[in-house]
Structure formats: structure tokens, C-alpha cells
Structure 1
Amino acid sequence: MEIVFTVLILLLAVAASGVVTRVLPVTPPLPLVQIVIGALLAWPRLGLHVTFDPDLFMLLFIPPLLFADGWRIPKREFFMARRSILMLALGLVFMTVLAVGYFVHALVPSMSLPVAFALAAVLSPTDAVALSGIAGKGRIPGRLMHILEGEALMNDASGLVALKFAIAAALTGVFSLREASISFVVIAAGGLAVGAAVSWLFGFVSSRFLSLDEEGDPAPGVVMTLLIPFAAYLIAERFELSGILSAVAAGMMMNHTKITHAGPASSRVRASSTWTMIEFVFNGMVFILLGLQFPHIIGRALLDAHETSNAQVWKLIGYVAAVALALYALRFVWVWLLRWFASRGAAKQGVANAVPGLRTVALTTVAGVRGAVTLAGVLSLPEVLSDGAPLPGRDLAVFIASGVILVSLLVAVIALPLLLRGWRRGKDPHAAEEALARTLAAQAAIRAIDQMHDAEGQDREEAEAAYAADVTARVMDLYRRRLAALDDVKESRELARRADALEFRMKLAAMRAERQTLLAMRTRHQINDETLNKLMREVDLSETALTVRKR
């Protein structure tokens, strides 16, 4: 019963966080609000404490979130930026493990080198979810955001694999760079292959047994999509491969399965709304769980240090500040060097003024926000060695990692709006291809309508043929106006857009009037709830399609 009560409280907290961001006069970043709510729930008088099990956390929360990110991320842009993504997700991670590991060991000599490497490994993954929540949707330039999202998708696996070898070295005192390198390649490639295979198998089963080409209940297909990330993660982990990369690969493979582009629209609509809700709830739970842990980890450590002396408190705070500065400095230098080498290559090809932009480098540096994977990783450090002795430096590593997470979030909240202020976004690079796609789709629709009119008009009486011609003209007029709105001639384009705007307002007013009438009929008991829900869903889907296209 206590578990049920705790889950309900956490869900209520997630919902309340969305309400709080709307009612406050200044809109704070949603992740920060959720962390504050979690910290308030951890207040002693409320008595809510959730034991953070790293293995359970990694199984329940990380696979579906990474699966959804992999499904959503544009694959073309991901492939185009593959060099930058790999240099950040692999190169920067391993440089962080080495440089920051030695730095932490020098800063805190009592912490063994393997534990210092383990701390550096868990600090290397970044959190794109927290970043987008802090910066706001669409604020960061598209190409840079694609790189940061791709980095966050891939560096979770590289950081946790590095953590695995650091823990093994801490427990056994043995480390082989050659063996670690070979194991990393096998673990990463195997995880990617497992994830792709699971998604492909799902698409195969769906096309054979779920009747995707027929109108039916879409629930079985939606439920199966919910199971894919967990299946990919568990199967990969069962064979000691990367479950994280497996979940990412499964999500990226979903765009190539039949269920994403075939079958009834109801399946896609329901799957989209379901995954939107899951992402909101799971992301919220992740940050609230972070907030729940911070008072117990950071507060207890500072109180224990205060009982010793005030100098010990400042020493702990100094450790967090020094490690955070080291991470920012290393990331800044690494990103600047990447852009410098890229500019040198562009200059050799005759591209002028291809120099690293300091503002972009600073933005990329500050965007390296740490999140829940870091906390789960550091809490997975074993408490005792193989001989039963306590692992030296573990508690300090947990404190430093928690402090760095908090610092990175606060720095991003303050610095990102300042760096993005006055940023010229320029024209949407995808506007031209969107216009071309709309034009070709409308032309294809007109041809299909014309062909159907010819087929339907054969062997009809004069009255039926005239009626069919009227219907054809009305349907075709919609697509002709869409083409006119995309025309290069300014006058015809503006006229079509004004007509389109008027039609939009009329249709919206009509749909709202439909909705009010249906509700009034239910109130007067002229229709029952089942009829109301069916008709309201039709109106809602029509209004959704209308507003999405207008947006």
C-alpha cells in the first residue's frame, strides 16, 4: 500500500509541476520546478523518501525515454552531424574520464584512482531532456540542438561502459586498455544490432498479425510499441551488451517499420498521444526523483561536515566547484578545438571566415547539463570491496556528482538565456523542402481526385454525374488553394492566404459550435455519453488536424 501511495504522490507532483509553470508570473524551466517539488517532498515533516535503486531506475525510466528520443530525432541531420556527435559522445567522454579522473585524484588524494575514474565516467554523459526543458523549445539553433541531442543519446552508453571498467578496476585492481577497447566495440555494436533487430521483428509481427491494413482496435499495436524499449534493453543486457544503445537503436529503427507509415490513422494518433504522455510523466518522475535525493545526499553530507568544522563544509563545496570548473574547461577546449579543425578544413576548400564562433562554443559548453543518468551511475558504485572493506571515497564521489548535477542545472538556467539573447535564427533551413513537399503532395492529391472522378463518372445518369462533378470540384478546390498559397506570385499568394485564414476561422468556429451543441444535447439527455464521446472525438480530430496544419 505504501508503494501505491508513493507512486500516486509522484504522479500528482508531475501534474502539479505543469500547473505551477503556467500560473507563475515568470515561467521557470520545467525540470527545475520538478527538482524543487521533489526537494520539498523530501522535507522531514512530509516524510516522503524514495530509495533510489540505480538498476531499477535504469530499467524503468531510461529505455523508454531514449527510445522516444531516438524515434523522434531526425535521422538525416543525425547522419550529417555524425562526426561532431561521435567526437563529443566518444572522444570527449574518454578524455573526460582520463583528464577529470586524474584531476579528482590529485584534488582528493584519499580517493583511489579507479574511483576517481568512475566519478569522471558518470559525470561525462549529458542530458538533452534537461537542456531542452531549460532552454525552451526551438530556442537553440537546429543544427546545434541536433548535435547536442545526438551526443546525449550516445554518450550515456560510452560513459556507463567506462564506469563498468572503472568499477572492475576498483574491485580487482586490474585494468587492460586493450581489453577495455575491444569490449567497448563489442558492447556498443552488439547493443545497436539488438535494438535494430527488436524493432524489425516488431514491424514484421505487426504487419503479419495485427492487421495494420484494416480499421480495427489500435490498442494492441500501441501496447507493443510500449514494450519495445524494455525488450531491447533487457535482451541486450542479458547478453552483456549495451542496453542503452539498444533502446536508442530500437527507437531510430522505428521509422523504418511498417506501423509508422501504414495502417489506420487512428493507430498513429493514439500512439503519438500515448508517447507524448509517457515522455511527460517519465521525464517529470526523473527530475522529481532527483529532487528527492538531493536533500538526503547533499544535505546530510554538509551537516556531517558541519559537525566536524566549517572548514570541512567549505572544502566539500570547493570540491564540487573545482570539478564543475574542470568539466566546463575541458568541454570548452574540446569544442573549440573541434570547431577550429573544422574551420581549417573548410578554409582549405575555399570557405572564407570559417573560424570558431566563441558564442557557439560557449553555448555548447554550458549546454553540457548533467542529469539522472549521472546520479544513477554514481549510486551504482559498490559500497564494499571484494574483501568486505568499504570502498574508499564512494560517499564523497556521490556528493560531488550530486553537486555537479545541481551546479550544471543552475548554470544552464542562468547562462543559456543570456547566450541565446539576440541570437539571429535566420531562415528555417527546412522551409524550402517543406514547401516542395506540400506542393508535390497537393498535386498528387489533385491527380488522384481527377482519376477517381473519371472512374466514378462512367455509366452514371446526368444528375448523378453533375453531383459527382460538384463534389470533385469542392474537394479539388482545397488543394488548389493550397497550391495558390505556395505560389511564387505575391498577389495570388497573399489572396490565397487571406482566404485560407478566413476558412480557418470559419471552420474553427463551426467545430466549436458543434462541440457546444453536442454537450447541450447530452445535458438535455438527447444523446448518451457513448454517442457524445464518439462525436466529440471526430470533432477533436478534425480540429487537431486543422490547428496542426495552421501552426
Structure 2
Amino acid sequence: MHTVETVLLVLMLGALTGIAARYVRAIPLPLIQIAMGALLSWPQKGLHIAFNPDLFLLLFIPPLLFADGWRIPKREFFALYKPILKLALGLVLFTVIGLGYLIHWMIPEIPLTVAFALAAVVSPTDAVAVSAITRNLGMPAQTMHVLEGESLLNDASGLVALKFAVAATLTGVFSWTDVAKDFMWMALGGLGAGALIGWGFAVARDKVTRSLGDVAATQMVLLLVLLPFAAYILGERIGVSGILAAVAAGITTNFADLSRSDFVSERLQTEGTWAMVESAFNGAIFLMLGLQLPSIIGETLQEAGRHWWVLAGYALAISLALLALRWIWLTLGVQGSLWRAHREGKMAEKPSYLLTLATTLAGIRGAVTLAGALSVPLLLNNHHPFPSRDLLVFLATGTILLTLVIGSVGLPLVLRRLPPPGEPASAREERHARLAACQAAIAGMALDKEQAAAADPQWLAQYQESAGRLTQEYRRRIDLLEDPSTPATPEAHAEAPEVVRQRQQRYVVELQLRLKALHIERNTLYAERHAHRINDESLRNVVAELDLADIALRKRLAVAQRTVAAHDRPAAAANTPADDAE
């Protein structure tokens, strides 16, 4: 099959499996995609793709990590930098040493340096896999920020550790001083190169769009999609971490976007484009993993000369040891930083053994682990085969699958036992920001005495009439944004919980009614188009406005429904003993 046909088939299957996952919610999407890829390549005449790790890293990893760096909340990222760095750097070193010795002890035929290479391969967590598994499971927000930050940064530390473990196997020489120097150069150089190219793009984009406006939005979005590839290639060419360069470019671009509030068209196109890119590339990564799976298993069973259950047992032991080391490091090395962040108000959720267990199970491995394993050279410097390479690739692949399965099964069970979070802090902040914007808009419409005295009477009357209508609309929006759990007057502080609950339910009903009205408006507009009373351009413009309002209302409704459910849950728990007694 030609490369173009293969790429098109993988993208199509990624979209189809994404649709299928909506119907099979019990199975996470990555597992569905891996299984689909394995089924396609398992038969003798199945789909077989030659896997080039360097090409894989270049095509799929930079845009996904750029998007994660672009989307991750920067305030929380920098506020929680201590636990993130302890996980991204300290945990990787702890895993490489501890797991490396364990692998060498468990499988003596694997040399110690190769065991360290395998430990380095499986040490980085995968941002794509973690997001795919935990997206809809209710992972506490700040904990999710820590996991995302860890996944963004530990790729570099894991790949640097792999580089030196492979070098030690090839040459028999190892130096901690060289490791430290090279790591600092690769990490800091990668971050600096990515920040530089992101800043350069931001400056150039600002100059172009300030003179042309939103007419160049499509071209700027295309250049933005190409930016992570440029950052990655530049980083690799100068000998630093291309992965960190892509992450830093995403973070820098996000900071530059904060001063571009006027460019609405560009912003909407950017959001839509990145949503499509992330969905397509996420699916392609896990499908590629599934396509490689049968050949990896077959080659390993043939070369190793062992029964499959022995090799599966090794993979299970490594996966469990990996999670055990992660739990130990979280408990002994990171817990203190999390408690300090909680006391300082940087982390809303209180550290607990359940939260530590959830963070442990979220240590899922993915695409970077596979690419790192397949990047191990085939031959030593003396042209002899690299020792236990096929076994290394098999065990790394088994670790990916097992951590995905363990996380998919264990995370819902653990997260279900965590206390209900109530309204997320980000949703509360968003509501307050909307309130402030509405109040500022009302205040901005008022004319001072000098302006009113100097104005034309006819214009002034028209202005005041329009301002009155707009003020009423903003007042209605403020009423909608008011926190339904907060009493409207000081005398209402003694209201019974049932009264508060009824007010919340009325709020949910009002939001649902507004959504129904928007739906009717939208259907009416399409009916007008079918009757040829408006054209396609008019339809798109008006429906786009309704769609934006629909998205905002649906977000508010989801938060309101979670708040009502959180209030209902303690009441249901309180009634349980009485019900049991009956």
C-alpha cells in the first residue's frame, strides 16, 4: 500500500473509532484504536507499515505537545512548578535506577546498561494518553495540571537517560558529569530555542495582522500549525530537545495571544483547526501502535524462544513495579510540595491517599515510549546485534498496553470515591469575569454631564433609548450569571438547604429553556434558507452567533447540573442509613 493511501486510511480509521467510542463509553478510545490497528495488521496479508521512529516523532509528537503547551493554564503551571519538576526530573531518575536494577535482577540475560535503557524508555508518561483516559473521569483540576506539566517535561529527561544508557551499551563508557552537562544543554537549549521561535513568530504575526487585520487569518492559522514542526526541527538540528522546543513554542505563542483580543476570526479558526489536528493525530498515534503490535509480538516470541506467558509476566511485573515506584515517589518526594501548594491556595484539592493512588494510576505510557524503544539501534559498534533489543521493544510495548488497561479500569474506580468537587474554581472565576464584563459594559454606556450637554438632542434621545435596551439585556445576563447557591439578600442567609436547592434547579430549568429557544431560532433560520428567503452567507453569519451563545450556555448548564448533583449527593448519603433500616 502506498504511503499516501496508508496515511488516509489511518486518518479515516481515527475518525471512525472516535465515533464508535461515543457508543462504547466503557472502553477508552486509545484501547479501541490499538485493537483496531492490531486487527488490521494481524492477518498474513494485513496492513503492515514500516515504522520509522524519527519520522514518527517529527510528524505526530510536536503538534500534540505544542497544543498541550498552548492550552495548559499557565498560572497553574507556574504555581505548581515544584511538584511538576519533582515528577518530571526526580521521578524519571528514581525510575531509571530502581527499575533498571530490578529488570537486570529479574532477567539476568539483559545487561545492566540495556536494563537502564528499558527503564528510561518507560519512564516518561504520555500527555496524549493521560488526557485521553482522564478527560471525562472527573480528575481534580489542579491534579490534572500537574499530570499535564509532568508529561510535557519528562519526555526530555527520559530520552536523555535513554541516550546515555544506549551510549554506555555501545561504548562501555559512562560518565555522570557528561550526563548532567548534556541534560542541561538539551533541556535548557530546547526550551530556549522553542521560546525564541515562538516569540519570533508572534512578532511577525503581530506586524502583519496589525496592518492587514483579520483578512490574513487563514494564512496565519496555517503558519501556526506549521510552527511546532519548525521548533522541533530547529531543536534537533542544533542538538537540543526538539520535544521541549515544541512545548516552549506553544507556551510562548499562548502568551502572545493574550494581546490579540481583537482578532476574532483568527481565534475561531485556530480553535477549530487545533481541535481537528489533535483528534486526527491522537487517533493516528494509537492506531500506529496497534499496527506495530503483531509484528513486535511475533518477532519477540521467535527470537526469545520463551512461551508467551513468561514474556507477558515480565511485562506485568515491570508495569506493576513502575506504578509502585511512582507511588513511593509521590508519597515520599512530592506529597510535601502538594501540601504546601494546598495551604497556599494554589491547589484546591487536599492531598489524600486516594488522590495519590489516582495520580499513580494516571502514570500511563504511550507514543514516546514506543518511539524511544524502536529508536534503539540494531547493531553495536562492533557490528554485533544490540543485546536483547527485541525483548526490550516487546516489554516496552507491553508496558504501554498494561498501563493503559490498568489506568482505564482503576482510575474510574478511584475517582468515584473522591469527594464531590462541586463547582470548579475555573468555572467560578469564569462566571465572575463575565459578571465584571457585563457590569463594565453597563458603566461604559453612561454619558457624563459634559457629553450629554454637548450632544445633539435627537441623537441623545436615540442614544438613551438604545442604552436602556442594552442595559436591560445586560441586567438579564447578570441575573443569569449570578451564583444560584448564593442568597440574593443578607436576610436570606438562614434559608433552608431545600430552598437553596430549589433555586439551583430553577437556574438549571432557565438555562435549559434558553437552549431550547436557541434551538428553535436555529431551526427557523434553516427553514428560511430552505424557503430561499436568506442566502447561505447570511445563514452562516447568524448561525455562528447562535452557536457561540449555545456553547456558552451549555458550559453554564453543565456546571449548574454538577453543582445540583453535588448538593444532592450528601442528602442521598444521609438518607441511606434510614432507608436501610426500613
Does the TM-score normalized on the shorter chain lie above 0.5?
yes
1:350-391: per-residue Cα shift (whole Å, max 9, x none)? xxxx99622122111111111010000010000001121111
1:484-534: per-residue Cα shift (whole Å, max 9, x none)? 33455538998998777655543442232112221342xxxx77xxx41x2
8 Å Cα contact 1:112/1:392 also seen in 2: yes
Residue 442 of structure 1 deviates from its aligned partner by 1.1
1:439-466: per-residue Cα shift (whole Å, max 9, x none)? 221122123333599979965463x543
Give 2:177's aligned residue.
178
Give 1:441's aligned residue.
437
- The secondary structure found in structure 1 opposite 2:215 is coil
User: Which AA in structure 2 matches 1:517?
Assistant: E
Residue 51 of structure 1 deviates from its aligned partner by 1.2
Q: In 2 relative to 1, CA 544–343 (structure 1 residues): closer, same or farther, beyond 3 Å? A: closer
Q: In 2 relative to 1, CA 347–77 (structure 1 residues): closer, same or farther, beyond 3 Å? A: closer
Q: In 2 relative to 1, CA 38–470 (structure 1 residues): closer, same or farther, beyond 3 Å? A: same
- The secondary structure found in structure 1 opposite 2:418 is coil
Counterpart Cα distance in 2 of 1:500 and 1:466 = 34
Give 2:242's aligned residue.
243
Residue 341 of structure 1 deviates from its aligned partner by 3.9
8 Å Cα contact 2:34/2:291 also seen in 1: yes
Counterpart Cα distance in 1 of 2:386 and 2:82 = 38
Question: Within 5 A, what are the aligned runs for 1:311-350?
Answer: 312-342=307-337
Give 1:15's aligned residue.
15
1:60-83: per-residue Cα shift (whole Å, max 9, x none)? 111100000001111111112111
Counterpart Cα distance in 1 of 2:106 and 2:403 = 20
Give 1:373's aligned residue.
368
Q: Is 2:390 the counterpart of 1:392?
A: no
Give 1:475's aligned residue.
470
Q: Which runs of 5+ in 2 are unaligned?
A: 493-502, 556-582
Counterpart Cα distance in 1 of 2:271 and 2:449 = 34
Question: Within 5 A, what are the aligned runs for 1:136-175?
Answer: 136-137=135-136, 139-175=138-174
Q: Is 2:220 the counterpart of 1:225?
A: no
Give 1:5's aligned residue.
5
Give 2:562's aligned residue.
none
Q: Is 2:520 the counterpart of 1:509?
A: yes
User: Which AA in structure 2 matches 1:476?
Assistant: T
1:6-64: per-residue Cα shift (whole Å, max 9, x none)? 1121111011102211234x542111111111111113265211111100011111110
User: Which AA in structure 1 matches 2:186?
Assistant: I
Counterpart Cα distance in 1 of 2:233 and 2:51 = 20
User: Which AA in structure 2 matches 1:9?
Assistant: L
- The secondary structure found in structure 2 opposite 1:430 is helix
Q: Between the two proteins, what is the percent identity of the paired residues? A: 43
1:178-231: per-residue Cα shift (whole Å, max 9, x none)? 111011112111111111111111111011123467241411110111121111
8 Å Cα contact 1:194/1:246 also seen in 2: yes
Q: In 2 relative to 1, CA 104–499 (structure 1 residues): closer, same or farther, beyond 3 Å? A: closer
Question: Within 5 A, what are the aligned runs for 1:267-286?
Answer: 267-286=266-285
8 Å Cα contact 1:81/1:147 also seen in 2: yes
8 Å Cα contact 2:438/2:474 also seen in 1: yes
Q: In 2 relative to 1, CA 33–260 (structure 1 residues): closer, same or farther, beyond 3 Å? A: farther
Q: In 2 relative to 1, CA 499–446 (structure 1 residues): closer, same or farther, beyond 3 Å? A: farther
Give 1:53's aligned residue.
52
Pairing partner for 1:543 from 543, 546, 558 = 546
Q: In 2 relative to 1, CA 16–348 (structure 1 residues): closer, same or farther, beyond 3 Å? A: closer
Counterpart Cα distance in 1 of 2:544 and 2:341 = 48
Q: In 2 relative to 1, CA 299–218 (structure 1 residues): closer, same or farther, beyond 3 Å? A: same
Q: In 2 relative to 1, CA 437–344 (structure 1 residues): closer, same or farther, beyond 3 Å? A: closer
1:97-156: per-residue Cα shift (whole Å, max 9, x none)? 111112112222222222111111110011132223223336111111111111111101
Residue 303 of structure 1 deviates from its aligned partner by 5.7
Q: In 2 relative to 1, CA 125–453 (structure 1 residues): closer, same or farther, beyond 3 Å? A: farther
8 Å Cα contact 1:31/1:287 also seen in 2: yes
Q: In 2 relative to 1, CA 171–504 (structure 1 residues): closer, same or farther, beyond 3 Å? A: same
Give 2:488's aligned residue.
490
Residue 272 of structure 1 deviates from its aligned partner by 0.5
Counterpart Cα distance in 1 of 2:53 and 2:128 = 19
Residue 478 of structure 1 deviates from its aligned partner by 2.0
Counterpart Cα distance in 2 of 1:97 and 1:541 = 51
Residue 279 of structure 1 deviates from its aligned partner by 0.3
8 Å Cα contact 2:17/2:32 also seen in 1: yes
Q: In 2 relative to 1, CA 514–292 (structure 1 residues): closer, same or farther, beyond 3 Å? A: same
Q: Is 2:34 the counterpart of 1:38?
A: no
8 Å Cα contact 1:17/1:30 also seen in 2: yes
Q: In 2 relative to 1, CA 473–344 (structure 1 residues): closer, same or farther, beyond 3 Å? A: closer
Give 1:416's aligned residue.
411
Range that drifts further, 185-194 or 15-24: 15-24
User: Which AA in structure 1 matches 2:543?
Assistant: D
Q: In 2 relative to 1, CA 150–62 (structure 1 residues): closer, same or farther, beyond 3 Å? A: same
Q: How many residues align?
A: 533
User: Which AA in structure 2 matches 1:312?
Assistant: H
Pairing partner for 2:402 from 399, 407, 421 = 407
Counterpart Cα distance in 2 of 1:42 and 1:268 = 40
Q: In 2 relative to 1, CA 332–172 (structure 1 residues): closer, same or farther, beyond 3 Å? A: same
User: Which AA in structure 2 matches 1:337?
Assistant: L
Q: In 2 relative to 1, CA 423–355 (structure 1 residues): closer, same or farther, beyond 3 Å? A: closer
8 Å Cα contact 2:209/2:216 also seen in 1: no
Q: Which runs of 5+ in 1 are unaligned?
A: none
Q: In 2 relative to 1, CA 347–370 (structure 1 residues): closer, same or farther, beyond 3 Å? A: closer
Residue 158 of structure 1 deviates from its aligned partner by 0.6
Range that drifts further, 452-461 or 69-78: 452-461
Give 1:117's aligned residue.
116
RMSD across aligned C-alpha pairs, in angstroms? 2.9
Counterpart Cα distance in 1 of 2:100 and 2:274 = 38
8 Å Cα contact 2:358/2:414 also seen in 1: yes
Q: In 2 relative to 1, CA 473–506 (structure 1 residues): closer, same or farther, beyond 3 Å? A: farther
- The secondary structure found in structure 1 opposite 2:42 is coil
TM-score, with normalisation over the residues of structure 1?
Answer: 0.89
Range that drifts further, 510-519 or 188-197: 510-519
8 Å Cα contact 1:206/1:212 also seen in 2: no
User: Which AA in structure 2 matches 1:6?
Assistant: T
8 Å Cα contact 2:214/2:266 also seen in 1: no
Residue 157 of structure 1 deviates from its aligned partner by 0.8
- The secondary structure found in structure 1 opposite 2:307 is helix
Counterpart Cα distance in 2 of 1:277 and 1:240 = 31
User: Which AA in structure 2 matches 1:15?
Assistant: A
